[in-house]
Amino acid sequence: MVMIKIFLILILTLVFIIFSFSSKMKILQKISIIFGYFVVFFFIVFPHYSDVVAHFFSIGTGKDLIIYIAISILSLVNVIIYVGAKHNSRIITKIIRESSLRNAKKCK
């Protein structure tokens, strides 16, 4: 059991380091990621406390709580990525449209 905890903490720390240094984030986003890191770290080291938190929210077990939170976070990330891709698509369309209009005027 100890080996899997060490493995999970190493993976979590690696993901945290890569994510925090690889993107430009606002301070609130960085704070929420740091908070999430420590919460997940705490639940890995002390898994029985997830049951206590789950019972506080009237959820069966800590495993269920973690699954519900993971599904919620992954859904949020999915929406954020979709909105970002849609925004980038609009910007690319605008740039190509303006470039095409400029080139059409040069051809006349």
Do the beta carbons of residue 60 and residue 39 sit within 8 Å? no
Tell me, what's the pLDDT at 29?
73
CB atoms within 10 A of CB 49: 12
Tell me what pLDDT residue 12 has.
79
DSSP readout, 45-88? H-THHHHHHHHHTT-S-HHHHHHHHHHHHHHHHHHHHHHHHHHH
Distance in Å from the first CA to the final CA of the chain: 74
Global pTM value: 0.65
Consecutive sets of 10 residues in the chain, 108 residues long: mean pLDDT of each?
79 77 71 81 86 88 85 86 92 93 77
Per-residue confidence (pLDDT) for residue 88, from 0 to 100: 94
CB-based contact 59:65 (threshold 8 Å): yes
C-alpha distance from residue 70 to each of 40, 59, 107 (Å): 11, 15, 55
Q: Which pLDDT value is given to residue 108?
A: 62
